[in-house]
Chains A and B, each alone.
Chain A
């Protein structure tokens, strides 16, 4: 079981680059969204250096979640 969890540790190089991207994707895109946090991530242009795909995914998710939130408010 321990090895399963170690497989996502970031050790640098090769395949582990994918692991880092996966970690970034999960910590930015998966889990509880506190209202308002997405505005910060959208405005935070400094995040660009994280990698274009990660940021684009975040923005996509952000826009989709903001739309859901907007619909919820209109009900």
Chain B
């Protein structure tokens, strides 16, 4: 059974280099609707679980091939459409919103900093419930201080910041002008981190955290 796998949307221009092959070596095809370009492949569905990691890396490769050149709106790996008409309908329905977001994010990439408890340092005090809660509260305050310091350090070069608590730490997403990624790294590296916390930076990524809600979860027909 085959499905249409969507990779990403972008403002199309003839000079753009596009990848030839995507997940499972399937040919990558371009769907154009006005200025909007979307990359897709016809793939066997469901994916072979034996090569899921490989599929993820191949998917990432397609998205980043375009992202190296300009802003993209990435789809999630498991987003597939029943057939080409369903995909075409989706593109027509959402073209305007996609282009609005692409224009808004045109000059930016997303950098990320995660603040998380240092594995070797985080010894939990279980001597009493009160001690445990006090330790947790102190850790939270300390983490919030670091998150604010990271925000402040990156403020001069970022358009927007989003902070999200995750099970394994606090994730800080920063919209940075393309080409200023190293400025972000330097600014965040200069922030002092307490012993019990660690920091990890990554990026540049497509600015997926900064998409409008209508683009993140669009209306769709025939999608699986």
In the complex, the answer to whether B204 meets A28 with C-beta atoms within 8 Å is no
Contact B78 A41 (CB under 8 A): yes
B6 beta carbon closer than 8 Å to chain A: yes
In this complex, the interface size class of chain B, counting residues with CB under 8 Å from chain A, is 35 or more
Judge whether A29 and B53 touch: CB under 8 Å.
no
In the bound complex, residues from chain B placing their C-beta under 8 Å from that of A27 are 56, 59-60, 63, 74, 76-77
B53 near A50 (CB under 8 angstroms)? yes
| B46, A36: Cβ atoms closer than 8 Å | no
Given that A40-B46, A49-B52 are known contacts, is A31 also in contact with B167, CB under 8 Å in the complex? no
Given contacts A28-B78, A32-B79, A37-B78, contact A23 B217 (CB under 8 A): no
Interface contact B205-A30, CB-CB below 8 Å: yes
Q: Is the CB of B223 within 8 A of A34?
A: yes
Q: Closest Cβ of chain A: how far from B68's Cβ, in Å?
A: 5
**Closest B residue to A61 using CB positions:** B76
Docked pose: A37 CA to B216 CA in angstroms: 13
A41 to B56, CA, bound (A): 13
How does the 8 Å CB contact mask read for B163-194 relative to A, with 1 for contact and 0 for none? 00011100000000001011000000000000
Complex Cα distance, B79 from A27, in Å, reads: 10
Q: How many A-B residue pairs have CB under 8 A?
A: 128
Interface SS of chain B: mixed
Residues of chain B lying within 8 A (CB to CB) of residue A32: 6, 9, 73-76, 79, 211, 215-218
Contacts of A28 in B (CB 8 A): 56, 76-78
Within 8 A of B (CB), among A1-48: 1-2, 4-5, 7-8, 10, 18-20, 22-24, 26-38, 40-41, 44, 46-47
Interface residue ranges, A against B (CB under 8 Å): 1-2, 4-5, 7-8, 10, 18-20, 22-24, 26-38, 40-41, 44, 46-47, 49-50, 53, 56-57, 60, 65, 68-69, 72
Chain B residues at the A interface, C-beta cutoff of 8 Å: 6, 8-9, 46, 49, 52-53, 56-57, 59-60, 63-64, 67-68, 73-81, 90, 166-168, 179, 181-182, 200, 202-206, 208-209, 211, 215-220, 223-224
